[in-house]
Amino acid sequence: MGRLLLIDVVGAVTILGLWYLIFAAYNRRRGAAALRWVQSACNGKGRVLDSEWIGSSHLNVRLHFPSRSFENVRVSMHFRPRALPVHWILSCWHKQKETLTFEADLGGSPNFHLQVIRHRWCAHSRGLQTRKRTDREWEIYQPGPIILTTRTHWKEDQTPELNALMAVRQQDVLQVQFRPESPQFTATLALDAMSDPQSAKGFLHTLKELAAGASAHRN
């Protein structure tokens, strides 16, 4: 009995060990591919300085841009924790996305805090056919941007950074943040959006527009 239990324990440990090695290597390959996507997005205007893995699902990268648009650039990539079965199952259950977060300083401290969160609500019917036509049907509306501010007086002007933020709607950007403290600019997007070279280049162009808008507002 004890020998069978020992064999089961050794077998379980071996399976978990193989699982960890296989899926940790898979995340490493995805990280290498994501690094190529980032390098392609830089389009020769920036280069990767170094990269560091934290665990098996978190990759930190430092970038350098010759212009003063971005300084102290850091990119954090979060992958699914595939190497840990329980964490991977929970991640799939909560439908967590693999993300890329771009952090940088803008060469001058912005004098405002701004956070933009892109959230999509979706709903669907269960495909049940109702017999009564008087039953309530779906009504779908497309709301415009909603601004929450702590200012007592809001001036409804089209500031440069808000104009640039409208371009974010065309990208798979999940969150954008400006603040006086470092990192002064942060943008998070779904990692898969970087797999397309054209989308990747468009994302970098959008980041530069956002940075230029913040600089114009500061000046």
Cα distances (angstroms) measured from residue 62 to each of 108, 138, 176: 20, 47, 19
Burial class from Cβ neighbours inside 10 Å (0-12, 13-18, 19+) for residue 189 reads: buried
Mean pLDDT split into 10-residue runs, the chain, 219 residues: 74 88 93 88 80 93 82 92 90 89 83 70 54 58 64 59 56 78 87 77 74 61
Cβ atoms of 189 and 168 within 8 Å: the answer is no
The pLDDT assigned to 62 comes to 92
pTM of the full structure? 0.76
Q: Can you read off the two tokens belonging to residue 147?
A: 């601004």
Q: 85 preceded by cis ω (within 30°)? A: no
